[in-house]
Every structure is written in structure tokens, then in C-alpha cells.
Amino acid sequence: MQPVAVSPPPIDAYIEGVRAGDRAMLARAITLVESTKPAHSAMAQKLLQALLPHTGGAMRLGVTGVPGVGKSTTIDMFGMNIVNAGLSVAVLAVDPTSKRTGGSILGDKTRMSQLAQEPRAFIRPSPSSCTLGGVTRKTRETMALCEAAGFDVIIVETVGVGQSEIAVADMVDFFLVLLLAGGGDDLQGIKKGIIEIADMIAINKADGDNVLRAERAAADYRGAMQILTPSSPAWTPPVITISGRENKGLDKLWEQILAHRKALGETGELAERRQRQAVAWMHDMLSNRIMEMVHANPRVAARMAGIEDDVRQGRLLPTLAVDEIMSLIGAGV
């Protein structure tokens, strides 16, 4: 007996459910947005357009750091502090996707054990699908859905630290970099590009015998930050020490986030940043759509393997290969 295909609910049900803060419907809406089926994609865009007037009200935070720095533990404790202050929080935890198998761990709900049981918190693990920046192609849309559902704070936890992680800064208001003292995050080892766009650096695991090492590392980074030009004339990125496990310094972290929001809000930079991000989102979507058109074009499909082999064997310059692909697309119009 053939299984019966389950159709998605009507779009009005999605809109009403998300606006009412229904967690089950929010989760289904995110699944709809993440779907690659053409019919689902079209419906998702209608849903997002309908919910657009209800977005933009949340604080958008990005958190990144090397594996083992304690991102999930810190976010779990920090998120509980936010909830205890009377606010709601959504965590979009992007898991690494294996380039070989396409699988991902999706274990953040177990690593954030306190938030996972909190009614005013919502955790959505999502595979990165090997996309640039360690964030999924649909992260921006998921953020919009969470905002429409009424969450006060949205935290995007990204995969690792690397040059590609800069991508997350194009979708958040505040970008936090977590580092370790003496754990491979020395000044010569960290990517300069990450430091330049950080709104704050926090040396984590500043507890027990590691307190002095963390303070020395923080002093080193404060010195390094002084020779860099801040991204905003209204904000100099602070460097603090914290312990996510022991909930030390997280109150100061929250104070700095609020101070940053106030400073950039008063100068109009926060609004300008979000406007730039909206345009960057459009450009990213345009690039993705063009690539989809390229792969869907039958003329290109018939020649792509041959073109790739010519480039691989050094018989054709990549620039000329692109010219040939573009000419094939033009011939098919």
C-alpha cells in the first residue's frame, strides 16, 4: 500500500500559528522554508511576505568560536538569564554538515539542556549544508519567522571560526566572538578578519585555575583591538572574560549588548546596518537563483561535464569556461 502524502497546511494556518507563537506551527513553517521542493518554496515566499510587517523587532545576536570554546554551554546559560529577565529567546544552532555524507549531528538540544525545557525558549538545530559562513541558506528566513512569532532575542550559533564565518555578521545586530586562553586562539593564530568585525570578544572558561590566563589573554586582545579601526565610530569593541559554565560575566555581556544597541540606535547606524543586510540578502538570493538557473538549463547540463573536465585538465581557462556557460544560457533564452 502506497503511503499517503501529507500536504502542508494552508498558508493562513501558518500565518495564524506563527503569529500566535505556536511552537509546533513555527517549527513546521521553518521546515517549509528549508524545503527544496518548488511548490514548498513558492508557498514559503508567500508566507514570508505576509509575515514581513511583523518582523524586525528582535535583537539579533551572532555567536561564533572555535570548537570546544563552549558556545553551546554559554548560550544555554546566557539564554536562561535572558528568559529569567522576562524575555523570550530563539536559538538557531547551525550544525556542521559532512561534505562526504551530507549528514549532521544536530545535537544542540542536548547541549542546551536548560533552554530546551524552557517554555519561553525555542531551539532550532539546522544543518549548515556546507554553505559559506557555516550558516544555512535559509537562516535569514528562519530569523524572520522567529521574529514574527514574537521572540525578543534571536541568537545564531555558527560553526567554528574562519574567514567564511564573516557571513554571519551580515545578518545580526551584534557579533560576539568567543575565544579561549592558551587554546590555540593566540593573536597570531586568530583570523584578523573575524576580529575586525567583532562587536565584542569574550575569553571563555575564565574559572578555576584558568582565571589569570584568561585575564592575560583579554589584556593582549585589548591591546590588539586598539590598533584596529573600529567598524563604527560610536562603538569600541570591548574584551571581557566570562565563564559560561559558572554564569560569570554573562551579566556584563548582556549590559554591553544593550549599550551597543543604544549607541548605534542613537546614531542611526543600527537601522542602516539592517538596511544593508536586507540588500545583501537580496544579492545572496539572486546569486543562488542564478546558479539554480545555470544547473537547470538543458544546454548547460549537456556541456557542463565537458567544460569542467577541460578546466580540470588545464585545457580551458576558468574565465573562458564561464564565458561559454554564459553564452549557453543566453542561447537558451
Which amino acid would we find at residue 302? A
Asked if residue 52 lies in contact with residue 59, where contact means CB atoms within 8 angstroms, the answer is no
Residue 199 has pLDDT above 80, yes or no: yes
Q: How many CB atoms lie within 10 A of CB 73?
A: 19
**Structural fold of domain 1-54:** 1.20.5
Q: What is the pLDDT of residues 74-92, one digit of tens each?
A: 999 999 999 999 999 999 9
Domain boundaries, the chain: 1-54, 55-267, 281-332
Distance from C-alpha of 51 to C-alpha of 64, rounded to nearest angstrom? 28
pLDDT of residue 239: 95
- Segment 276-295 shows an average pLDDT of 86
- CATH placement of domain 55-267: 3.40.50.300
Q: What is the pLDDT of residues 225-252, one digit of tens each?
A: 888 777 788 999 999 999 999 999 999 9
Check residue 83 and report its DSSP letter: H
Q: How many CB atoms lie within 10 A of CB 320?
A: 12
Q: What is the pLDDT of residues 15-25, one digit of tens each?
A: 999 999 999 99
Q: What is the pLDDT of residues 99-134, one digit of tens each?
A: 433 433 444 555 788 999 999 999 998 755 555 544
pLDDT of residue 99: 40
Helices (H), 154-297: 192-197, 211-226, 250-267, 269-296
Asked if residue 181 lies in contact with residue 217, where contact means CB atoms within 8 angstroms, the answer is yes
C-alpha cell at 330: 543566453
The residues, ordered by sequence, that sit 6+ positions from 82 with a Cβ below 8 Å of its Cβ are 89, 152, 153, 254
